[in-house]
Amino acid sequence: MPSIVVVGLQWGDEAKGKVVDYVSQDADVVVRYNGGNNAGHTVVIDGEVFKFHTLPVGALNPGVMSVITDGVVIDPGVLSSELDGLESRGFHIENLKISGCAHVIMPYHKLLDKLEEESKGEKKIGTTGRGIGPCYADKVSRVGIRISELVVPELFRSRLEDALAVKNRILTSVYGAEALDVDQIFDEYSAYACRIAGYVADTAHIVSDAARLGKKIVFEGAHGTLLDIDHGTYPYVTSSHVTAGGACIGTGIGPTQIDRVIGVAKSYTTRVGEGWFPTELCDETGNYIRERGKEYGTTTGRPRRCGWFDAVAVKFTAMVNSADAIALISLDVLSGLETVRVCKAYEIDGSVTPLFPSNPYILEKCRPVYEELPGWSDDISGVRKFDDLPENAKNYVEYVSQALGVPVALVSVGRGREQTVMVRPDLLQI
Ligand code: IMP
């Protein structure tokens, strides 16, 4: 089983970083295939916290090749700082490959992201403000600038001038903002280009060859499937292909190269930004989960909206990803609640359905139908074996697994690498 995709099954922040870190300890290659620095993956090793926005989490594991492929959008300033930050902590990132086909997040993307959001007022998406949507929009409109163009100064200058001729008209005429200066951007981005040029490579060939040679590959998804541009709760989504299928789209390999899909879900639900959230708890329990789970954004610091586990939504996302196993995260956060709830169906205008609607506007009318289970009071953050969990916590995990129809492979009981309870280690082996 040489290749695994790790993908989020909710609205992001499922702690995929921890799972990727765990499975990539045995990997040869770790591949980041979608999104940009709107993602934030945290890994805690021996109490030391590492936050990643663009680099694959696997970059920490010596001997692992880290690859940022075509489907990713890169803010080269952020990537340069991440590289500098890791180097200053003693990690020398040598085995990194960056696709020349990945698109560059430019200053006008960040500015337009902010201005577009402001102009939407109450109808804003609640983006991370990192320029992600405008960058992907330029990619699809075939006016974006790729990494392979950034690192060739004359080409970059000419592509930048062409882009700014249009963007400055939009900035000044539509939004009344100031025009951006071509020389300033050219100088700033040329410095980033020098920092990353040595890593640029033909990543489709590198990943395909690794797969052909039977190397162990982990594909690291960013965000969660409910934020996928096609399968998520549009328009309150991000702009990339978040699903396991995105690993093919964004990398340049075919679906037969993927052997297994691990879906990552929290034991409850969180969401950042605007958009539908049927099991949201705007009460004391929601606050309890937020504080215990430290549910504040890795990227923006925004408080996350919290609610009960939504098995209707996760059954749908497990389906669109063909998830073979679930990594159930943050079970420890639910300790101390008298009862815990799982949404097992939606009631819409008096009728009950177990299916997640493809038209997300229907979510507005969905009332969760809950299964209420007894809670547990013990601190479980020190538990390392499934059998040592309190009976009610075990029942909760088993209920979730049955509701989804997918086996739970691991349960996480804290942020540390070691705070992991294996249930089906065979499903995580690469
Ligand atoms: P964008 O990706 O910055 O355009 O934001 C679009 C939506 O996706 C917003 O609601 C963001 O809060 C959300 N989002 C994007 N990336 C993440 C993530 O990694 N975790 C959680 N929410 C995210």
Burial class (CB in 10 A: 0-12, 13-18, 19+), 124: middle
**pLDDT score recorded for residue 44:** 78
Minimal-distance CA residue to ligand 1 atom 19: 39
Residue 52 pLDDT level (bands cut at 50, 70, 90): confident
Q: Is a pLDDT exceeding 90 seen at residue 19?
A: yes
Gap between the Cα atoms of 342 and 267, Å rounded: 9
Q: How far is the CA of 339 from the centre of ligand 1 (A)?
A: 30
Q: Is the CB of 401 under 6 A from ligand 1?
A: no
Count other C-beta atoms under 10 Å from residue 418's C-beta: 12
Q: Report how far residue 82's alpha carbon sits from residue 55's, in angstroms, rounded to the nearest whole number.
A: 7
Confidence of residue 136 (pLDDT cuts 50, 70, 90): very high
Please report which helix (H) or strand (E) contains residue 346, including its range: strand 339-348
Q: Is the CB of 238 under 6 A from ligand 1?
A: yes
Are 397 and 411 spatial neighbours (Cβ–Cβ below 8 Å)?
A: yes
For the CA of 222, the nearest atom of ligand 1: 19
CA distance 305 to 307: 7
Task: Find out whether the beta carbon of 127 lies less than 6 Å from any atom of ligand 1.
Answer: yes
Ligand 1 and 112: CB distance under 6 A:
no
Q: What is the pLDDT confidence band of residue 154, given thresholds at 50, 70 and 90?
A: very high
- Residue 89's closest CA among 28, 45, 54? 45
H/E stretch holding 312 reads: helix 311-321
Does the beta carbon of 240 sit less than 6 angstroms from any atom of ligand 1? no
Q: In this predicted structure, what is the pLDDT of residue 49?
A: 85
Residue 423 burial (CB < 10 Å; 0-12/13-18/19+)? buried
| Ligand 1 pocket: which of 16, 32, 114, 127 to mutate (most atoms within 8 A of CB) | 127
d(CA 382, CA 288): 20
Give distance in angstroms: CA of 184 to centre of ligand 1: 29
Ligand 1 pocket, residue 125 CB under 6 Å: yes
Contact yes or no for 307/341 (Cβ under 8 A): no
Query: Is residue 169 classed exposed, middle or buried when 0-12, 13-18 and 19+ CB atoms within 10 A define those classes?
Result: exposed
**Which residue is closest in CA terms to ligand 1's atom 14?**
238
Q: Give me 90's structure tokens.
A: 């003693």
The yes-or-no verdict on residue 418 having pLDDT over 80 is yes
Residues constituting the chain: 430
The secondary structure of 63-132 as a DSSP string is: TPEEEE-TTBEE-HHHHHHHHHHHHHTT----SEEEETTSEEPPHHHHHHHHHHHHHHGGG-----SSSH
pLDDT band at residue 297 under the 50/70/90 scheme:
confident
223 included as an active-site residue: no
Nearest Cα to 57, choosing from 42, 73, 37? 42
Does residue 266's CB lie within 6 angstroms of at least one atom of ligand 1?
Answer: no
What mean pLDDT comes out for the span 87-105?
92
- Catalytic site residue 13? yes
Coil, helix or strand at residue 52: strand
What pLDDT is attached to residue 355?
A: 97
CA of 237 to the centre of ligand 1 (A): 7
> Ligand 1: which of 14, 128, 241 to mutate, most ligand atoms within 8 Å of CB?
128
Separation between Cα atoms, residue 124 and residue 143, nearest integer Å: 25
The mean pLDDT value for 361-379 works out to 96
Q: Convert the pLDDT of each residue in 203-212 to its tens digit.
A: 999 999 999 9
Report CA(270)–ligand 1 centroid distance (Å): 12
Average pLDDT rounded to a whole number, residues 223-237 = 97
| Contact status, residue 364 vs residue 340, Cβ threshold 8 Å | no
- CA angle, 135 as apex, 133 and 141 as ends, to 5°? 100
Q: By C-alpha distance, which of 98, 51, 94 is closest to 75?
A: 98
Structure-token match 């951007």, residue found: 185
C-alpha count within 13 angstroms, C-beta hemisphere, residue 249: 12
CB of 39 closer than 6 angstroms to any ligand 1 atom: yes
CB 273 near ligand 1, within 6 Å: yes
Atom of ligand 1 lying closest to residue 13 CA: 20
Q: Would you say the CB of residue 42 lies under 6 angstroms from ligand 1?
A: no
Tokens of 236: 């309150």
A 10 A CB-CB count for 28 gives 18
Confidence of residue 179 (pLDDT cuts 50, 70, 90): very high
Residues 242-293 pLDDT 10s = 999 999 999 999 999 999 999 999 999 999 989 999 999 999 999 999 999 9
Which DSSP string corresponds to 167-214? Answer: HHHIIIIIT-PPPPPHHHHHHHHHHHHHHHGGGEE-HHHHHHHHHHTT
Q: Which of 57, 2, 9 is nearest to 258 (CA)?
A: 2
Burial per residue of 366-404, b for 16 or more beta-carbon CB atoms within 10 angstroms, e otherwise: bebebbebebbeeebeebeebeebbebbbebbebbbebb
Dig out the tokens for 42 from the structure.
């945290």
Nearest CA to ligand 1 atom 11: 127
Structural domains for the chain:
3-99+200-260 (3.40.440.10), 103-196 (1.10.300.10), 265-428 (3.90.170.10)
CA 22 – ligand 1 centroid, Å: 24
| Catalytic position from the list 21, 41, 53, 228 | 41
pLDDT confidence bin for 1, thresholds 50/70/90? low
Query: Is it the case that residue 392 has pLDDT exceeding 70?
Result: yes
Of residues 51 and 385, more confidence is placed in 385
The DSSP 8-state label assigned to residue 60 in this structure reads G
The mean pLDDT of the chain is 95
| Closest ligand 1 atom to Cα of 227 | 8
